[in-house]
Each structure stands twice: as C-alpha cells, then as structure tokens.
C-alpha cells in the first residue's frame, strides 16, 4: 500500500495539503468581502482570507501604489534616477496586480483538475521582466503616465532592471519564450528551474580578449520572486543503499546515510497577454538542512557546520557557462539531480493534496517536458519516488514514467551529448544507478527479443557505454523513459531519426516527432520594436500580437511606396538608437545609413564567426585595393560570449576585435566599413540590436545548428537572412521565398560527401580573393604586436579534418554577400524584401510552437478562469 510521500521517508511533515494550495482569493460578490471567513469545505484549522477588490489598472492607482511602496516599504523620500528604488517600487505596484491573477489561476487549476505540464529546464534566460509584464497586463501607458507625473521616464526605469541571465543561449531563451506563450494560450504549464545566485558571466573586452566577470544579479534583490518556504523539499546525496523484505514478502530498497540538502522554491509570476492568466516559474534554491547544522553545531564543530552549509548552498551558486560542450563536473550533476528531484516531489505532493495516495490517474494528468538531457535524470528519479517512497511495483511505476516523460533534443553535436561516469553516479546517487541498471537490463531484453543475437546493436543502444570508464548515456535514458522525442526544426528532427538516434527510431518510430522552434512576438516585436509594432498595427490591426499568422497580411503593403517609406523611417530610427549605444560601448561611430550586418550568438566554431571575419577582411582588402566602388557602406556587428574554457572560441573573439581595430582606425575605411564587437551580449542587448539589423548572419555549417532562434527574431524585425540550409533557416527560406533570402554553402548531404577528401589548401590557392585574405591574416597584419596569437585559429581553416569546413563555403558566402550588397543598393526593393520577411514570420511564433506541443504531446486543456 502506498504511503504519503515524505511522511516518514523524507523526515518532514506533509508540507502542503488542500488548505495551503487552496488559500482562496475570492472577490466577486461584494457580500463576501470580509476578511477571515471560515470556509466550510476547508476543514479544521483553515481560514479563508478573502481578497479586497482588485487594484484598478489606472495611472492614478499605480501612482498611489508606487508612492506607498516607495515610502512605506522601501523607506525612501526622494527619487534619485539612478537608484534602484523607483524600479523596485514600480515592480511592487505591478506585482499586486499580478498576484490577483496568480491566485485565480491557481484556483482554476485545482478546480478544473487539468492535465498539467511541468517544463523541466536547467536554464530560463528570462532577461528583464518589467516591460513584458506591463505589456501583457495592458498597463504600459498607464504606468508611463504615472511615472511621468513624478518626472520619471519609463525607459530609464526599464534600464535599471538587471537581466535574469539564468541561461547560456538559445536553449534557455527558448524556455523563457515558451513560458510567455503558454501563459498567453492559457496552457497549464509550470516552469521548474534553478535559482542560480550567479547567472551567465558578464563579458568585458580587454585588449581584444574576453574577460569573465561574475553576475551577482540578486545583489539588490529580485522583487518579482516570492519565496515559498512551506513547499521546501529534501534532496538526498551520497550514502548507500540497503534492502529488506517487508511484511508482505516484497523487497524494499532504502537509500541511507545520505547528505541531504533542502530545495527552497522561489516563484516568479508569468503573466499571459491580457487574458488574466498568470502561470508560475518555480526556481529552486539550495539550503542546508536544519538538522545537519544543529548536529555539528552541538558537537562543538561550528566550522564544520558552516562548511556543510556552504557545501549545500554551492549547488545552486552558479550557472555553468558552457553551451554545446558538457564537461562532466560533479557539481553540475548535483544541480541536475537537485532540480529533477525537487520538481518531481513537488508535482507528486500537489497530486497528493488533491487525490491522496491514489495514483491511478497520475499519468493522465501530468507531463514532464525535459529541456534536453540536462534534467533527464528525472526518468530514474520518478521511478525511485514511485517505487521506494510510494511502494509501487516496477511495472506500474515504469508505465507512469513512460507515459509522463517527453524529451526535447537541442543538438546533434557529439561533444554536447551528456555522459556521466558510472563511478560518479555510484558515489553521488547510488540508488539511481541501481535503477538505471535495472531500466537498462529490461531494455536490453527488449532489444534481444526484437533482434535476437544482435550483440552489436545492444552495445550501440545500451544506456551504459562500456570502456575503461563506463558512462551513462543520458540521451538514451531520456529516449527509453519517454513517450515523445522531438527535435527543434524539421531538418534537425530528420537528422535525429536518420543519424544520431537511428536505432531508436527503428525500434520506436512513433516516439519521434518535430516541433519547430519559435520566439514570442510580444517581447521580440511588440515590446522591443514599438515603432515597427505601431506601423504594423496601423496597417493590419493588432491581432498579430496574439495570432502571428495575421502578420501575413503585411504582404499587401510590401509594394506600397508610402508604407515602404514609413518602414524605412522606423528602421533608421532603430539604427540611430543602436548606433548611439555602440558608440557608448566602444567609442566607435557607426553611421546609421550603413548596412547593419549582424551576427550575435554564442561563440562556437560550428557557428562560424570566423567565416564572417574572413568576409570582413575580404571587404577591407577590396577597399584598400580600390576595388570597393560597388560596395555599400557596411557595419559588421558581432557579439557573443565564449565558454571560459573554450580556447578556440576565445581566440576568435580576439581575432574579431583585432580585425575590427585595424579596420576602424584606417581613415580609408571611414564611412565605408566599420566593424564592432558588441561586448556582453545578452537578452537586453538583442532587444536593442534586432530592431536595427538589416542583414542577419546565420552561417553555421549545414547540419550543425539544431534550429537557431535569433534567425527568427531578426526576420520578425525585418532583417534579411544570409544563411546556409541549416536548422530553421530551411523553413525560414521556404516561408519567405528564395528571392528574399541570401542562400549559400554546402547542404548537409554535400558536407557529408566532402568528408575525407576536403582540401582547404587547394580551395584557398584556387581562389585569389581567398588567398589574399588568408595571406593578410597570416602575415600578422592584424596582430603586429602579438605575433602568433591567431596561429591556432588560422591553422584550423587549413585543416583537412576541419569539421566546420569553413574554407569550403568561403566563395559561395562571398558571392551571397555580393548579392546582398547589390540588393541593398536598390532601396525600394530592399525595403520590400524587409517587409516580406516580417510578413512571412507568422510560423515562427512560440504561440504556434506551443500549440504544436500541446496538440501532439501534452494534450492539456486550457485553463478556464472563473468569470
Ligand atoms: C540551442 F549540457 N542549444 C541550439 F552544459 N544549448 O544550439 C539552437 F553541455 O540551434 C536552438 O535553436 C536552441 O538550442 C533552442 O532549441 C543551446 O542553446 C545550450 O545552451 C547548452 C547548454 C549547456 C549544455 C549544452 C548546451 C551542456
């Protein structure tokens, strides 16, 4: 018989029951508006606190609340623009309005007993929250008005918010866009993540080199979060396993002598767009257990007690800043397990608060979407909780697990596939290792049954990679334990089925599906580009904000000369804005009339920032040789962070900066060519950059970029893409038409066919432009005072084994750039292409992506709020 999770096994009292999840906020009927009514249904010890009327959404009321918080909570009298207090007071005023919706959404979730989705992710790259919250609540104008009465500019207040940089790049930002779309679609989705004390590092550029600095983003507090100590969970680490036979003759397993850590949730409200829904992002923070501290303290070992506290809190201290290369660090595995266990326990406890110990319907009412393999240990942890803590049998537990887990893959790069040493698991998570071994044994039996005697296949598919140091293949664990496996763009999903996961797709074809990524048009058009947003709304109405397919109606305006003029006017204003910022950041002046040619994304060899540099040097060389008459003035803008341990990526940053310095200090280049490295690129930087871009660089080696999402943000804001047939570029080109996309480079099949007989030296020698570029770089022209700094970078281009085949695509890239150049000279036609790009971006909203997930994977009913 099942017992309540945690009653004895977790050593703490039942943390939540109907009352705590059910603190009712009721305000509809005025006769109910007293405080402290006793609720009949609530039972003993439960007092319903009835809510006062909703706060009005007027400038007057917002000003009143601002004043209240500024004076009475923050204890200030004078407004100083650069202080954090005005920002904080606005957030508190806005938060009051979110709280009302948050409570109603929670009530509706319980009442409707919806199927719920838990989005498990080690990263949520939220950026700033204020402008988005005001937009979604529909009080931006009112708040602007309230602040202006105090002499405050709302934009200045926005700027005071620090980015919540709890992610590396696309994967983390995707999770944030998903939350916005799910709330807007009223989908019952809760995000589970980690409240890192330090987010993505800040990047400083020193003599062209990247220098990493910590990101103490919580230093002044994070006014959006609500700490929920009552939902804390206990997480076990270390120790050993034992077993015994219970009174019914069943073998039971115990995980004992563990070092426990508490997981404390902090909730962040996620408002939908003007639909009164408010979902939750629940971020877990690690804390030492009280018992742990006290024991050591009483033993007189204060130092050890403090050390234990530090060790516990270390788990959520810092985000690992690696994108696309995992580096098997133990603390990272602890983070993964910490997130998985806390989130699963939370879901189980919520289930128990409604259904007691009857888990019959659990799998029908819960889905866990795994954001890559980072939280894939959840497969084994759910088994452990169901079997060890809830005393379920293996088959029933496996049925529940396999009906609730769904896995999204975000990469084909072999170096990014997580594998954890078996030895590390044995030390850190011994009970989970046993469970994984059991999952594997049963899985291998299934393969043997289907393919008798095929030991090679077993070796290939086993969850354990054998060898000197046996490893657990997390992607395989995720596939075996899930009912759905999806890629993030059509091409990527095909390559998963045909390549990386071929054996699994043969075994379980029904599991594999595609969900092409998107971005939220609320942040990435409505909020970040108000000029364009207003122009679009004047032309086609504002339905596009919640239904981006409507943006296709812009096509009717693409040839309208007056509309084109207004479109250009907005783009120019956005370029002026970015140009000012670039000058502030780097001291370089960038004339806004130039073509803004932009590549911003994490630094990685497969993304080929180097190819962009080769083109920059080519333009520089042409202008110097007097061959630049046809060239339109161009500003090449590159931004992005390199993982601190990724030497080649860091050297590429140095190379970009040095080439930029030579170009920008050459008087001949002035007004013709500028090159800028945008320091500390992050979400807020993109909000400034993408509205100002003319040309969007999406130039990865075909087959390497799973999807890309920056490509979609640029397209939405009217930039034209120069790109390879990689990731979502394929679908972007299909949507916008080949005339409105600058295609170049080998396709996936051609890249594969060229492996083995790729001769970069021959390619360079046969191309005089390429030869001159490489010669200039190799001559030390860009590193006069630092001989040899680019040797590694330059050598990689000449390497026949270069996986990124930069040289193979040089000629076709330069030709595509020439087509872009020619197109930019025809101002009207460029504007037309720009409008058509925005008009074709309808498919690339995460609203569409989330509908696809929900229709084909989650099958959750939308939240219905009480009217
Ligand atoms: C991106 F585990 N991936 C894709 F530590 N990964 O590159 C991009 F090794 O093509 C997609 O558009 C995007 O996902 C959304 O689907 C990505 O951003 C990481 O950030 C990452 C972080 C950590 C690891 C691996 C990858 C680690």
Task: Look at residues 822, 481, 777 and name the one whose alpha carbon lies nearest to residue 654.
Answer: 777
- pLDDT of 20 over the 60 cut: no
Q: What is the pLDDT of residue 308?
A: 79
d(CA 21, CA 545): 33
- Of all protein residues, whose CA lies closest to atom 9 belonging to ligand 1? 326
d(CA 637, CA 202): 19
Q: Best substitution site from 122, 166, 170 to test ligand 1's pocket, by max atoms within 8 Å of Cβ? A: 170
Burial 592-601 (b: 16+ CB within 10 A, else e): bebbbbbbbb
pLDDT in tens, 243-266: 999 999 989 999 999 999 999 999
- Of all protein residues, whose CA lies closest to atom 20 belonging to ligand 1? 323
**Closest atom of ligand 1 relative to the 517 alpha carbon:** 16
Instruction: Name the 3-class secondary structure at 767.
Output: coil
Would you mind telling me the total number of residues written for the chain in this entry? Answer: 867
Task: Look at residues 531, 522, 523, 498 and name the one whose alpha carbon lies nearest to residue 512.
Answer: 498
Torsion sign, CA atoms 656, 661, 667, 672: positive
| Residue 154 or residue 34, greater confidence | 154
Ligand 1 proximity of 168 Cβ (cutoff 6 Å): yes
Ligand 1 proximity of 169 Cβ (cutoff 6 Å): yes
Instruction: Name the 3-class secondary structure at 147.
Output: helix
Q: Which residues contact 786 (CB under 8 A, 6 or more apart)?
A: none
A 10 A CB-CB count for 708 gives: 26
**299 confidence band (pLDDT: 50, 70, 90):** confident
**Closest atom of ligand 1 relative to the 168 alpha carbon:** 20
pLDDT in tens, 504-552: 999 999 999 999 999 999 999 999 999 999 999 999 999 999 999 999 9
Q: What is the pLDDT of residue 51?
A: 66
CB 163 within 8 A of CB 550: no
Q: Best substitution site from 124, 176, 193, 323 to test ligand 1's pocket, by max atoms within 8 Å of Cβ? A: 323
DSSP state of 549: G
- pLDDT of 302 over the 70 cut: yes
d(CA 325, CA 643): 9
CB 105 within 8 A of CB 277: yes
| % of the chain residues with pLDDT over 70 | 94
Q: What is the pLDDT of residue 1?
A: 37
Instruction: Name the 3-class secondary structure at 641.
Output: coil
Ligand 1 proximity of 664 Cβ (cutoff 6 Å): no
**Span from the CA of 355 to the centroid of ligand 1 (angstroms):** 37
Alpha carbon separation from 44 to 38, 40, 106, 392, 743 (Å, rounded): 9, 9, 22, 31, 69
- pLDDT of 497 over the 70 cut: yes
Q: Which residues are marked as active site?
A: 410, 601-602, 607, 709, 713
Ligand 1 proximity of 326 Cβ (cutoff 6 Å): yes
d(CA 354, CA 332): 34
**787 confidence band (pLDDT: 50, 70, 90):** very high
Q: Which residues contact 847 (CB under 8 A, 6 or more apart)?
A: 181, 184, 185, 518, 520, 521, 546, 547, 548
Segment 51-66 mean pLDDT: 91
- pLDDT of 327 over the 90 cut: no
Kindly calculate the radius of gyration of the chain based on its CA atoms and give it in whole angstroms.
28
pLDDT in tens, 566-617: 999 999 999 999 999 999 999 999 999 999 999 999 999 999 999 999 999 9
**Span from the CA of 490 to the centroid of ligand 1 (angstroms):** 17
| Residue 302 or residue 198, greater confidence | 198
Ligand 1 proximity of 833 Cβ (cutoff 6 Å): no
E-strand spans in 277-398? 278-288, 366-371
Q: What is the pLDDT of residue 17?
A: 35
Ligand 1 proximity of 173 Cβ (cutoff 6 Å): no
**Closest atom of ligand 1 relative to the 727 alpha carbon:** 10
Q: What is the pLDDT of residue 82?
A: 82
**Span from the CA of 492 to the centroid of ligand 1 (angstroms):** 13
**Span from the CA of 776 to the centroid of ligand 1 (angstroms):** 34
Q: What is the pLDDT of residue 24?
A: 36
Instruction: Name the 3-class secondary structure at 670.
Output: coil
d(CA 341, CA 287): 15
Q: What is the pLDDT of residue 297?
A: 72
d(CA 599, CA 615): 13
- pLDDT of 727 over the 60 cut: yes
Ligand 1 proximity of 176 Cβ (cutoff 6 Å): no
Instruction: Name the 3-class secondary structure at 203.
Output: strand
DSSP state of 530: H
Segment 847-854 mean pLDDT: 98
- Of all protein residues, whose CA lies closest to atom 15 belonging to ligand 1? 171
CB 609 within 8 A of CB 638: yes
Segment 380-398 mean pLDDT: 98
Alpha carbon separation from 340 to 114, 484, 495, 704 (Å, rounded): 22, 18, 28, 28
Segment 50-79 mean pLDDT: 92
Q: Best substitution site from 169, 339, 520, 601 to test ligand 1's pocket, by max atoms within 8 Å of Cβ? A: 169
Instruction: Say what the pTM is.
Output: 0.95
d(CA 647, CA 654): 11
Q: Which residues contact 185 (CB under 8 A, 6 or more apart)?
A: 272, 847, 850, 851, 854, 862
**862 confidence band (pLDDT: 50, 70, 90):** very high
Ligand 1 proximity of 410 Cβ (cutoff 6 Å): yes
pLDDT in tens, 693-704: 999 999 999 999
Ligand 1 proximity of 726 Cβ (cutoff 6 Å): no
Q: DSSP string of 289-302? A: -HHHHHHHHHTT-H
Task: Look at residues 276, 275, 268, 271 and name the one whose alpha carbon lies nearest to residue 131.
Answer: 271
**Span from the CA of 705 to the centroid of ligand 1 (angstroms):** 10
Task: Look at residues 139, 17, 135 and name the one whose alpha carbon lies nearest to residue 66.
Answer: 139
With vertex at residue 103, the alpha carbon angle to CA 99 and CA 104, rounded to the nearest 5 degrees, is 120
Ligand 1 proximity of 735 Cβ (cutoff 6 Å): no
| Residue 295 or residue 207, greater confidence | 207
Ligand 1 proximity of 680 Cβ (cutoff 6 Å): no
- Of all protein residues, whose CA lies closest to atom 8 belonging to ligand 1? 708
Burial 245-264 (b: 16+ CB within 10 A, else e): eeeeeeeeeebeebbbbbbb
Task: Look at residues 777, 772, 769, 815 and name the one whose alpha carbon lies nearest to residue 796.
Answer: 777
Segment 370-377 mean pLDDT: 98
- pLDDT of 44 over the 70 cut: no
**2 confidence band (pLDDT: 50, 70, 90):** very low
Cβ burial, residue 47 (10 Å; 0-12/13-18/19+):
middle
**Span from the CA of 200 to the centroid of ligand 1 (angstroms):** 14
d(CA 287, CA 297): 16
CB 189 within 8 A of CB 178: yes
**Span from the CA of 325 to the centroid of ligand 1 (angstroms):** 9
d(CA 435, CA 317): 29
Q: DSSP string of 32-95? A: G--SSEEPTTT-TT-EE-PPPPPPP-SHHHHHHHHHHIIIIIS---S--TTSSHHHHHHHHHHH
Torsion sign, CA atoms 579, 583, 586, 590: positive
Ligand 1 proximity of 48 Cβ (cutoff 6 Å): no
Q: Average pLDDT over the chain, rounded to whole?
A: 93
d(CA 225, CA 266): 6
pLDDT in tens, 823-841: 999 999 999 999 999 999 9
CB 380 within 8 A of CB 435: yes
Number of H helices and E strands in the chain, helices first, is 34, 27
Q: Best substitution site from 122, 166, 168, 171 to test ligand 1's pocket, by max atoms within 8 Å of Cβ? A: 171
**Span from the CA of 259 to the centroid of ligand 1 (angstroms):** 31
**187 confidence band (pLDDT: 50, 70, 90):** very high
202: left (phi over 0), alpha (psi -120 to 50) or beta: beta
Task: Look at residues 715, 730, 727 and name the one whose alpha carbon lies nearest to residue 551.
Answer: 715
d(CA 237, CA 260): 6
**Span from the CA of 408 to the centroid of ligand 1 (angstroms):** 11
Task: Look at residues 518, 542, 546 and name the one whose alpha carbon lies nearest to residue 530.
Answer: 542
Q: State which H helix or E strand residue 261 sits in.
A: strand 259-271
Segment 497-507 mean pLDDT: 98
**Span from the CA of 118 to the centroid of ligand 1 (angstroms):** 19
Q: Best substitution site from 410, 418, 726 to test ligand 1's pocket, by max atoms within 8 Å of Cβ? A: 410
Find the distance separating the first CA and the last CA of the chain, reported in whole Å. 41
pLDDT in tens, 445-492: 999 999 999 999 999 999 999 999 999 999 999 999 999 999 999 999
Ligand 1 proximity of 724 Cβ (cutoff 6 Å): no
**Span from the CA of 416 to the centroid of ligand 1 (angstroms):** 8
DSSP state of 519: B
């Amino acid at each position: 018989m099942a017992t309540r999770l945690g009653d004895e096994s977790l050593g703490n009292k039942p943390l939540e029951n109907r009352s705590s999840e059910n603190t009712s906020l009721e305000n509809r009927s005025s006769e109910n508006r007293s405080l402290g009514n006793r609720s009949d249904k609530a039972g003993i010890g439960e007092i319903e606190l009835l809510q006062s009327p909703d706060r009005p959404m007027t400038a007057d009321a917002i000003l009143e609340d601002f004043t209240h918080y500024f004076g009475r909570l923050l204890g200030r009298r004078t407004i100083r623009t650069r202080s954090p207090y005005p920002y904080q007071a606005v957030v508190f005023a806005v938060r009051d309005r979110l709280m009302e919706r948050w409570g109603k959404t929670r009530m509706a979730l319980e009442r409707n007993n919806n199927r719920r989705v838990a989005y498990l992710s080690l990263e949520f790259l939220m950026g700033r929250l204020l402008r988005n919250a005001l937009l979604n609540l529909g009080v931006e104008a009112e708040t602007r008005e309230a602040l202006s009465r105090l002499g405050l500019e709302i934009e200045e207040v926005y700027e005071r918010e620090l980015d919540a940089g709890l992610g590396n790049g696309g994967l983390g930002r995707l999770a944030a866009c998903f939350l916005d779309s799910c709330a807007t679609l009223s989908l019952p989705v809760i995000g589970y993540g980690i409240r890192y004390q330090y987010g993505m590092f800040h990047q400083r550029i020193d003599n062209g080199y990247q220098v990493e600095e910590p990101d103490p983003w919580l230093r002044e507090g994070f006014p959006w979060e609500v700490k929920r100590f009552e939902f804390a969970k206990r997480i076990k680490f270390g120790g050993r396993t034992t077993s015994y036979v219970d009174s019914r003759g069943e073998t039971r397993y115990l995980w004992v002598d563990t070092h426990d850590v508490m997981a404390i949730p902090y909730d962040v409200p996620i408002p939908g767009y003007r639909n009164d829904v408010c979902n939750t992002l629940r971020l877990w923070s690690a804390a030492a257990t009280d018992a742990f501290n006290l024991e050591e303290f009483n033993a007189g070992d204060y130092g050890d007690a403090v050390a234990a506290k530090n060790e516990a809190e270390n788990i959520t201290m810092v985000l690992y800043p690696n994108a696309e290369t995992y580096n098997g660090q133990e603390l990272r595995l602890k983070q993964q397990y910490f997130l998985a266990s806390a989130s699963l326990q939370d879901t189980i406890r919520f289930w128990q608060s409604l259904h007691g110990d009857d888990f019959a319907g659990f799998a029908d009412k819960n889905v866990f979407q795994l954001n890559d393999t980072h939280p894939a240990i959840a497969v084994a942890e759910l088994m452990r909780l169901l079997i060890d803590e809830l005393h379920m049998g293996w088959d029933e537990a496996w049925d529940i697990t396999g009906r609730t887990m769904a896995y999204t893959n975000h990469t084909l790069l072999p170096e990014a596939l997580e594998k954890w040493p078996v030895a590390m698991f044995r030390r850190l998570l011994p009970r989970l290792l046993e469970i994984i071994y059991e999952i594997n044994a049963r899985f291998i039996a299934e393969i043997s049954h289907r393919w008798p005697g095929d030991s090679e296949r077993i070796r290939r598919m086993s969850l354990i990679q054998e060898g000197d140091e046996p490893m657990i293949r997390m992607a395989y664990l995720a596939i075996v334990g899930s009912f759905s496996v999806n890629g993030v763009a059509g091409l990527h999903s095909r390559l998963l089925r045909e390549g990386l996961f071929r054996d699994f797709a043969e075994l379980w074809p029904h599991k594999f599906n595609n969900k092409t990524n998107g971005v939220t048009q609320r942040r990435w058009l409505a909020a970040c580009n108000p000029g364009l947003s207003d122009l679009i709304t004047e032309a086609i109405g504002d339905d596009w904000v919640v239904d981006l397919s409507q943006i296709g109606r812009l096509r009717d305006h693409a040839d309208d000369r007056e509309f084109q003029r207004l479109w250009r006017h907005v783009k120019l204003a956005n370029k002026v804005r970015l140009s000012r910022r670039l000058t502030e950041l780097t001291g370089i002046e960038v004339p806004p009339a130039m073509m803004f040619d932009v590549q911003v994304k994490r630094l990685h060899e497969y993304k080929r920032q180097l190819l962009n540099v080769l083109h920059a040097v080519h333009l520089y060389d042409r202008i110097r040789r007097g061959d630049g008459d046809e060239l339109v003035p161009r500003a090449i803008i590159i931004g992005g962070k390199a993982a601190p341990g990724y030497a080649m990526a860091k050297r590429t940053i140095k190379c970009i900066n040095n080439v930029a310095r030579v170009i920008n200090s050459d008087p001949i280049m002035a007004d013709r060519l500028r090159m800028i490295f945008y320091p500390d690129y992050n979400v807020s930087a993109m909000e400034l950059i993408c509205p100002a871009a003319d040309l969007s660089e999406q130039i990865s080696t075909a087959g390497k970029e799973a999807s890309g999402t920056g490509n979609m943000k640029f397209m939405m804001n009217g930039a034209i893409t120069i790109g390879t047939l990689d990731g979502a570029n394929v679908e972007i080109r299909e949507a916008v038409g080949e005339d409105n996309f600058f295609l170049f480079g080998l396709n996936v099949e051609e890249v594969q066919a060229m492996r083995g007989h790729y001769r970069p030296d021959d390619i360079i020698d046969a191309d005089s432009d390429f030869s001159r570029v490489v010669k200039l770089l190799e001559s030390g022209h860009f590193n006069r005072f630092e001989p040899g700094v680019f040797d590694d970078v330059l050598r990689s281009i000449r390497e026949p084994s270069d996986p990124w085949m930069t040289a193979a695509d040089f000629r076709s890239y330069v030709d595509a750039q020439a087509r872009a150049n020619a197109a930019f000279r025809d101002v009207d036609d460029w504007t037309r292409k720009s409008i058509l790009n925005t008009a074709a971006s309808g498919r690339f909203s995460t609203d569409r992506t989330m509908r696809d997930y929900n229709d084909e994977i989650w099958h959750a009913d939308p939240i219905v709020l009480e009217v």
